[in-house]
Amino acid sequence: AQKITQTQPGMFVQEKEAVTLDCTYDTSDQSYGLFWYKQPSSGEMIFLIYQGSYDEQNATEGRYSLNFQKARKSANLVISASQLGDSAMYFCAMSSTAGSYQLTFGKGTKLSVIP
Amino acid sequence: KAGVTQTPRYLIKTRGQQVTLSCSPISGHRSVSWYQQTPGQGLQFLFEYFSETQRNKGNFPGRFSGRQFSNSRSEMNVSTLELGDSALYLCASSPSTGGIRDTQYFGPGTRLTVL
């Protein structure tokens, strides 16, 4: 069974500062994908970034980067130069090897950006 | 491309009633997944459809059912509603090109309240 753990229920960050949101995972699969989603108060889940288990380089998408440490089973999201619009819930999720067609989500971290 | 659309956005029902939620995927996406989000349980996978076939189902009672049409649009139905069914129901679509890299894109959700 897969499991995603996000240990930070809530975090605060000053505007324009960088912030790291933690995610650890547990799986027996050799091949898996890791995703981060953002959920504003409106409810829609917005895809941010993806990292494959065999990708050698950390993924980056604009101000988002993923600090992937396979041996430690961690996939932390780094947001650089935080903006007020970054205030939202952030979810880490995992896909397994082809066949299960589902994402397993963590409980999420609520990020609040302070002006 | 237009994103995933879900209708209705809000629903209020009473216990014992049934409800049908609708989801239109991104054009060209053939896989549709459904998730239930509650404050207590977080995001839980309901089921996934591809080419009108259910490929995977989460651990939910038989009151929860779904289907997919030939144009990839999907509906989910909940019969004999219970108070605990109050939740945000999220639909996601993906190209389903196969494997762990398949990214799911979510709709805005349907917020169901059961009184």
pLDDT in tens, A40-94: 999 999 999 999 999 989 999 999 999 999 999 999 999 999 999 999 999 999 9
Q: Under a CB-based contact definition with an 8 Å cutoff, are residues A72 and A23 in contact?
A: no
Q: Which of A45, A97, A107 is facing B100, going by the closest CB pair?
A: A97
Contact A44 B109 (CB under 8 A): yes
Buried b (16+ CB within 10 A) or exposed e, B30-65: bbbbbbbbeeeebbbbbbbbbeeeebeeeebeeebb
The reply to whether residue B106 touches residue A45, judged by beta carbons under 8 angstroms, is: yes
- The pair of structure tokens assigned to A84 is 């007020």
- pLDDT tens-digit map of B27-85: 999 999 999 999 999 999 999 999 999 998 999 999 999 999 999 999 999 999 999 99
| B101 to A50: CB separation less than 8 angstroms, yes or no | yes
- DSSP-derived letter for residue B49 is E
Q: How many CB pairs under 8 A join A and B?
A: 69
Nearest-CA distance A115 → chain B (Å): 27
> Whole-angstrom Cα distance, residue A8 to residue A57?
25
Q: CA-CA distance, B89 to B46, in Å (whole number)?
A: 9
**Hey, is the C-beta of A68 within 8 angstroms of any chain B C-beta?**
no
